[in-house]
Amino acid sequence: MDRVDEAFDATPRRDFLPAGVRRRASYDGPLRIAAGQTNSQPRTVADMLRLLDVRAGQRVLDVGSGSGWTTALLAHLVGPTGSVLGVEIEPVLVTFGGRNLSSTGRRWATIREAAPGVLGDPGGAPYDRILVSAEPDELPQELVDQLADDGVMVIPVAGTMLRVTNPDAVVTRHGRYRFVPLH
């Protein structure tokens, strides 16, 4: 059992699902939440978190916080000496995810509505880790610019999971995955 398994155990997926799909929480696939969006496939989330290699005390940005599940998982991984900011573009999910997150009591994590035309959180950068749960066609330079000098970002781009590490924004590829589009 590694730190990611422990985070999953401490953060049950069913607590981040609407009542109508809660009974399917153990299904290893994406589940509809609201606004045409999904709570991601658990195996994919686990793969991404292992690639992200989150440490206690880090500052983490969660782009596309949706149900709040990944934000809460990241909050477990950084612990109370760290911080997590989730940004979400759909207002109804800012409310839904924020409520789910606050019921975990992990007050070092918050969810905020994405500012129009702004990707991520340039004002709060640099971040030690950036997780992106929606898919652009190309690697967004705006997000690369928000990574700390020794930071790591995990992001699906055009069907392939990328791990971007600083210094020098070195990109490695980690298999094929499908995600909702990054708007």
Ligand X SMILES: C[S@@+](CC[C@H](N)C(=O)[O-])C[C@H]1O[C@@H](n2cnc3c(N)ncnc32)[C@H](O)[C@@H]1O
Return the active site residues. 40
Q: Which is nearer to ligand X, 71 or 83 (CB)?
A: 71
37-44's contacts with Cβ under 8 Å and 24+ in sequence apart are 37/66, 37/90, 37/93, 37/180, 38/66, 38/180, 39/13, 39/66, 39/67, 39/69, 40/66, 40/69, 40/70, 40/133, 40/179, 42/8, 42/13, 44/177
Q: Which is nearer to ligand X, 35 or 150 (CB)?
A: 35
The Cα–Cα gap between 118 and 21 comes to 32
Helices 3-10 and 42-52, packing angle to 10 deg: 130
The nearest distance, CB 102 to ligand X, in angstroms, is 15
Q: Which is nearer to ligand X, 103 or 150 (CB)?
A: 103
Size of the site for ligand X (CB under 6 A): 24
Tell which one of 4, 8, 11, 37 touches ligand X (CB under 6 A). 37
What residues from 74 to 93 belong to the interface with ligand X (CB under 6 A)?
87-90, 93
170-176 vs 127-132, strand pairing mode = unpaired
Q: Which is nearer to ligand X, 23 or 178 (CB)?
A: 178
**CA distances from residue 115 to 6, 10, 55 in whole angstroms, order as listed:** 33, 31, 28
38 binds ligand X (CB under 6 A): yes
Tell which one of 11, 39, 104, 146 touches ligand X (CB under 6 A). 39
Tell which one of 4, 7, 11, 40 touches ligand X (CB under 6 A). 40
Which residues of this protein are in contact with ligand X, per CB under 6 A? 37-40, 63-67, 69-70, 87-90, 93, 114, 119, 133-134, 179-180, 182-183
